[in-house]
Amino acid sequence: MPSATTIVRRPAVKPDRVVDTVVLDHAARTRRHAHLRGEAGTEIHLDLDMETTVNDGDALRLEDGRLVQVKAAEEDLLEVRAENPLRLMRLAWHLGSSHGLAEIAADAIYIENTPALAELARGQGCVATPVRRPFRPEQSVHHCDHDHGHHGHAHHRHHDHGHAHDHGHAHDHGHDHGCGCGHHHHGHKHDH
C-alpha cells in the first residue's frame, strides 16, 4: 500500500498526475494517520508528520509522485441565519469562546448539526436550518501548522512561564510563526 506523506495544495495540483479521488468529511481531512481508499480503489496509507487540514481540491502525493485528489464530503450541518448581523456576530463569539467549529459565510454561519449547537443558535435569536453540504470550518489559531525549537536550549515541560530562564537573553522576544496566531510558542504543542 503506497504511503502519502505530502499534501499538494489545490493551486499546485496538476490534473495529469491525479490517479484517483478520495472523499473525506472534515474530521477525516484533519487526521495525520489513516488508511484510505479512493473512489477508483487506490489504497493509501496517510502518514503526515504534523497536524493540518487537507482542503477540498488538495491532493495527497504518493511515494511514486502520483496524486490522489481530496474532495470534501457532504455532511449534516446547520445553516444559521439571522435578520440582524449582530446576532450572527454574537453567535460567532460564543462558538469561538467554546472552541466550536464554524464556517463563516457572508450572511450565514455553518455549524455541526447537534442539539446543543442548534439551541445555542436559537438562543441568540438566529434561525438554524438543517442542510447537507461540505464543511469547511475556519482554521483554529491554536492548531498552527508549525512546531519550532526554542533557540537550541532546553525547555521545561510545564505551562507556567513565570520562571527564569538562564540563557542569556530576555524571554519576551517575538517570533514569526507564519500562522498569524500571535502566541509565543516554545517548541512543543499545546492541546487546547
Task: Report yes or no on 40 lying in a domain.
Answer: yes
Confidence (pLDDT) at 141: 61
Q: Same domain, yes or no, for 81 and 60?
A: no
Compute the radius of gyration of the chain from its Cα atoms: 20
In terms of residue numbers, what domain contains 100?
Answer: 74-134
Identify the residue whose cell numbers are 477540498.
56
CATH number at residue 112: 3.30.70.790
Is the model more confident about 185 or about 138? 138
Task: Report yes or no on 54 lying in a domain.
Answer: yes
Task: Report yes or no on 176 lying in a domain.
Answer: no
Confidence (pLDDT) at 172: 43
Closest CA to 22 of 1, 43, 51: 43
Give tens-digit pLDDT for 134-164: 999 998 665 444 333 333 333 334 444 444 4
Task: Report yes or no on 129 lying in a domain.
Answer: yes
Q: Are strands 3-8 and 43-47 parallel, antiparallel or unpaired?
A: parallel
The amino acid that residue 155 corresponds to is H
**Structural domains in the chain (count):** 2
Mean pLDDT (whole number) for 165-173: 43
Q: Same domain, yes or no, for 63 and 15?
A: yes
**Global confidence as pTM:** 0.70
* CA-to-CA separations, 19 to 45, 51, 64, 69, in angstroms, rounded: 15, 25, 12, 8
Give tens-digit pLDDT for 42-93: 999 999 999 999 999 999 999 999 999 999 999 999 999 999 999 999 999 9
Q: Is the Cβ–Cβ distance between 126 and 135 less than 8 Å?
A: no
CATH number at residue 29: 2.60.260.20
Mean pLDDT (whole number) for 162-184: 43
Q: Same domain, yes or no, for 59 and 78?
A: no
Task: Report yes or no on 187 lying in a domain.
Answer: no
Task: Report yes or no on 152 lying in a domain.
Answer: no
Q: Same domain, yes or no, for 25 and 64?
A: yes
Mean pLDDT (whole number) for 27-45: 97
Collapsed DSSP state (helix, strand, coil) of residue 133: strand
Q: Same domain, yes or no, for 56 and 82?
A: no
Confidence (pLDDT) at 124: 96
Confidence (pLDDT) at 142: 52
Half-sphere exposure (Cβ direction) of 132: Cα atoms closer than 13 Å: 2
Q: Residue 156, class by beta-carbon neighbours within 10 Å (0-12 exposed, 13-18 middle, 19+ buried)?
A: exposed
Closest CA to 80 of 121, 141, 133: 121
